[in-house]
Structure 1
C-alpha cells in the first residue's frame, strides 16, 4: 500500500463524517443546531456502549448478534426488580430491591449471558455467529416471559436521571458512554488482556502456542460485551421510563456498522476503540439526518445496510492492498 493510500485509509472515516455533516447541513437548517447536536449525542451513547463491546468481540475474530436482545432482557430485569421485586408465594416471601441493587442485577445478567455465549463458543466449539444468534432468540424469549409481553413503566426521578439527566452541562448518557470508551481504551492499549485480544484475533493458533488461555480471554470478552449491552439497556429504559419487551431490535445492526465503519476488521486482530466511536458518530449522524429529511424508515434500513456493505468492501480492499 502506498503512503498516500495508507493516510487515506487511516482517515477515511473522519473524511466521511465531515462530508456527511456538510451535506446534511446544506439539506437541513435544523442539523447544525445545539439542541440537535445534544440529541445526536444522547442517541449515539447507547450504540457506543454496545459497539465498544462488539469491538472487543470482533477483535478476537468473533461476533455477537445477541446484544439487542440482551439489552432488552437486562433493562426488563432491572425495571421489574425495581418496581415489583421478587415474590416467592410458596414461602410467603417478598424480596425488594433498591435502585442500586436492581441496576447491579441487570449488569450481572448481561455479563452472565455474555459469559454463557463465550462458554458455548469455547467449550462446545459452536461458531460465534450460531451461538449468539441462538442467544438472540433465547434472550428475547426470556424478556417476553419476564414482562408477559407488557411494558414495565414508571420508576421515579432517580432512575430517570440515568437517561435524561444532565451533569456539568452534558447529558448523563454521554458521560456514561465516555467512561465506557475510556475504560475500553485503557484495557485494549495498556493491559495484558488487550494484548491477548489482539493476539487471538491476529492468529489464534500462534496465541495458543505462546501460552495465552484462549477460552478464558474469549469468555471475559463476551462477558464484557454482555455487560455493556446491559449498560445500554439501562440507558434506554431510563430514557423511556419504560422497559419495552421489543426494545433493542436491530441494535446489533447499528453496533456492527459502527465497528466496521470505524475500521475494525471482521477477520479480527485489527481495529481501535476510537475508530468504533467515530463509526458510531457516523451512524448516529446518518440516522439523525435521515429523520430530519423525512426519509421513510424503510429506506433508512436500506441506506444503513448499504453503508455496512460499502464499509466491508472498503475493509477488504484495504486488507488486500497491505
Structure 2
C-alpha cells in the first residue's frame, strides 16, 4: 500500500492569499475617517438647527428678525403647495438654474479660449492685459445694472452677469495653466513636426486641463451668484426675485427659505462637478491628500 499523500481530483487545493495587514488597517482608517466626518457634519447641523429653534422659541432671539427653522419649513411647504407670488416654486428654481447654467457655459468657453489664446500669444496678452484687469476690478453689481439697462429684465441680462463672473475665474486659471506648460514637451512636439495648432490642442490644452477644471468648482458657484444678483437687480421670475420680494415684505423665513434652496442647489452641483472631475482626470495619479488624511 502506497504512502503517497492523497490530493483532490483536479490538482492541489488553491492557496488562500493572506491580505496585507497594513492595507486592511489603512482601509479601516479611511472608513473611520469618513464616518467621523459624516457624523461631525450631521452633529453640526443638528446643533445649529436645534439651537436656533430653541432660541427663537424662548424669545431669546426675535423670530420676526431671526426667523426659525420651523417657520422656514412652513414657508417652503406653502411655496411648494400654493406657489410663490410669481408662480410655481419649481418654475422659479428652473429659471434661476437655466440662467446659471447658460452663464456657466458661456463663461467657461470664453474663459478657456481667451486664456489659451493670451497664454500662447504674449503680444496679445500685453495689449489686452490692462483692459482685462480694469474690467475685472469693476463691481459686479454695476455690471449687472448695465446689463439690465442694455438687455432688459429677461434671461439675457442674467446670463451675461453670470458669464462675466465665471469668465474671469476660468480665464486666469487657463492663462496660468498655459504659461505653466513644460516647454520641453512643446519643444519635443515641434521636433516631431507638430504644427502650432497641433501643439496647442495635443500638448498645451491637456497640460492646462488640471488648472481649468480646478477653477470650475469656484466658477459654478459664481454662476449661481450671478444669476441671483441679476434677478435681485430686476427680473420677472427667479429665486432672486423671490428673495427681493420676501425682503420687501419683511418675511425673514422667506429669505432664509430661498437661501436654503440655493444652498442645496449649490451643494448638488458641486457633487456633480466632483464626479465629472474624477472622470475627466482619471489619468492623473491620486494626490497625497486623496489617499491619506491630514495628521495621520
Ranked by relative contact order (alpha carbons within 8 Å, sequence separation 6 or more), the top structure is 1
Structure having the larger proportion of residues in strand: 1
Q: Which has the larger radius of gyration?
A: 2
TM over 0.5: no
Please, what TM-score do these two structures have when normalized by structure 1? Answer: 0.29
